[in-house]
Amino acid sequence: MGQINFTVGLVMVALFIVAIMTFAVNFASENDASMTIADDGATYAQTTGVNSTIEAFNTETGAALTTFRESNLEGGVDNTEAPGSLRTGDDWLGTTKDGLQTSFYSIFGGDNSGFGIILTAIIAMITLITALYWWKTIKGGQPD
Amino acid sequence: MVDYVIPNVSAGFDNAMVDMSSSVSSFFPSFLVFIWFFVFLGGYMAQKARGRDADAPVWAVMASLTTFMVALLLSIKPGIISLPVLSTVVGILILSAIWLFLGKGSREI
């Protein structure tokens, strides 16, 4: 899976969470439901953070594009001069990690449920994949 | 002499569901589990029977979305399902979506 596919996957996860939560809350308010997912503070808190994540990602990618456009490559060098500008998307990683953690807690219970080690392993694996993609970008590989 | 009032037999089914839930608290959560496995296994096996590799993450998301919609409908009337059940359904839906979007495969997403 390339870096572009991975980033698109993270963005899709965040947008999916926003869509589900918004639909559930609006459905409950329009039908005068007895309970709504907004009553569960931990689960609903994911949506409130994603809006700021989207705006921050927009600003980041705009700045990265500007930096990249204004950078220069020296002759004979095959690595990018400003690799830091392509290391974006850690906000999306945080949204996915929060989604994983909240989902696990709602199914298996809190930190003391005994299944927390599975969640820890999955989050660590996704973080490692992200770090390896950034390393590949710094080294000068193709982003895809 | 008292006039006979014809009872409305079509009303009160929601109260019957609330009574069912209070008598057997695991009835509607088990019903939601049934819906999830019905959609998942039915779709997965049907796709596999057509001779191609079945796409488990897609069917997991389809099953989770169906269960989510039924759970939303059940949440309108108080006393049928509880908030932890609804949160669990949403949690399973999010996990299925993460499996779909971050899993490798031949799909276009």
Q: Is the pLDDT of residue A11 over 90?
A: no
Considering CB atoms only, which of A32, A103, A126 is closest to B94? A103
Model confidence band, residue B106 (pLDDT cutoffs 50, 70, 90): very low
The nearest alpha carbon in chain B to A96 belongs to B98
**Interface-testing mutation among A6, A20, A36, A105, with chain B (most B C-beta atoms within 10 A):** A20
Q: Is the pLDDT of residue B5 over 60?
A: yes
The verdict on A144 touching B (C-beta cutoff 8 Å) is no
- Name the average pLDDT for chain A: 71
The pLDDT score that the predictor gives to residue A46 is: 64
* Residue B97: alpha-carbon gap to chain centroid: 16
Could you tell me what percent of chain A has a pLDDT over 70? 49
Measured distance CA(B37)–CA(B58) in Å, rounded: 13
The pLDDT score that the predictor gives to residue B68 is: 96
- Cβ–Cβ under 8 Å, residues B96 and B64: yes
**Per-residue pLDDT tens for B11-26?**
678 888 888 898 888 9
Residue whose C-alpha is closest to residue B79's, from B33, B18, B26 = B18
**Bigger pLDDT: B106 vs A70:** A70
Measured distance CA(B86)–CA(B19) in Å, rounded: 19
State the Cα angle at A87 between A86 and A93, rounded to 5°.
Answer: 135
Please name the residues in contact with A25: beta carbons below 8 A apart, sequence gap of 6 or more. A36, A37, A38, A44
The pLDDT score that the predictor gives to residue A16 is: 87
The pLDDT score that the predictor gives to residue B70 is: 96
Q: Is the pLDDT of residue A43 over 90?
A: no
* Residue B21: alpha-carbon gap to chain centroid: 15
**Per-residue pLDDT tens for B35-72?**
999 999 999 999 988 887 888 999 999 999 999 999 99
Alpha helices in chain B (DSSP H): 13-23, 27-49, 56-74, 83-102
Tokens 């079945």 correspond to: B54
Contact B77 A16 (CB under 8 A): no
The pLDDT score that the predictor gives to residue B34 is: 96
The pLDDT score that the predictor gives to residue B33 is: 96
The pLDDT score that the predictor gives to residue A55 is: 67
Q: What is the 3-state secondary structure (H, E, C) of chain A?
A: CCHHHHHHHHHHHHHHHHHHHHHHHHHHHHCCCCCCHHHCHHHHHHHHHHHHHHHHHHHHHHHHHHHHHHCCCCCCCCCCCCHHHHCCCHHHHHHHHHHHHHHHHHHHCCHHHCCHHHHHHHHHHHHHHHHHHHHHHHHCCCCC
Considering CB atoms only, which of A32, A36, A99 is closest to B94? A99
Most confident of A26-35, A85-94, B85-94: B85-94
Q: Is the pLDDT of residue A119 over 50?
A: yes
The pLDDT score that the predictor gives to residue B109 is: 45
Considering CB atoms only, which of B78, B83, B109 is closest to A40? B83
Contact B102 A10 (CB under 8 A): yes
**Per-residue pLDDT tens for A56-107?**
776 677 676 667 666 665 655 555 554 555 555 556 667 777 777 777 777 7
Measured distance CA(A43)–CA(A98) in Å, rounded: 9
**Bigger pLDDT: A37 vs B64:** B64
The verdict on A27 touching B (C-beta cutoff 8 Å) is yes
Query: Left if phi > 0, otherwise alpha if psi is -120 to 50, otherwise beta: which for B8?
Result: beta
Chain B residues with CB under 8 Å of A106 CB are 84, 87-88, 90-91
Tokens 């594009």 correspond to: A65
